[in-house]
Copies of this chain bind each other. A is one copy, B any other.
Amino acid sequence: MASKRGQNMITVVAKNTIITEKYDEIIELCKELVEETRKEDGCIKYEMHQDVNDKAILTMIEEWESQEALDKHMQSEHFTRIVPLLGSLMAAETDMNVYAQLI
């Protein structure tokens, strides 16, 4: 995992609402996704967070050196294998935004 914050840095917030009965299965998949993703070039941060008031809300907060690094991540073996599996365990569509820092 690199750690170069710069002008082209991209932040991703992907907010998921899970099927709570699938919690353990989801956590196992997320652990593997996080572990593999943190090894990628251009990955500054890749963390999964849980809403303190609603345990069903699991959100990935990510920082990437560039849009290109993010694009490459989304084509990786672990992403294209694990994310569709996770998608089938969600109670709602993921709310994903890609950001550039303004202030």
Contact A103 B51 (CB under 8 A): no
* The residue from B15, B50, B97 contacting A102, defined by CB atoms under 8 A apart: B50
Interface string of A71-103 (1 = CB under 8 A from B): 000000000000000000000000001111111
Q: Which residues of B contact A34 (CB under 8 A)?
A: 103
Number of copies: 2
Bound-state Cα–Cα, A34 to B31, Å:
33
In the complex, residue of chain B having the shortest beta-carbon distance to the beta carbon of A54: B97
Contact B103 A13 (CB under 8 A): no
Tell me if A's interface is mostly helix, strand, loop or mixed.
Answer: strand
- Besides A13-B15, A31-B103, A50-B102, 10 other A-B contacts (C-beta < 8 A): A11-B49, A27-B102, A27-B103, A48-B101, A49-B101, A50-B100, A52-B100, A53-B98, A57-B97, A61-B61
5 tightest CB-CB pairs across the interface, nearest first? A49-B99, A48-B103, A50-B102, A34-B103, A48-B102
Partner-B contacts on A (CB < 8 A):
10-11, 13, 15, 27, 30-31, 34, 47-53, 57-59, 61, 67, 97-103
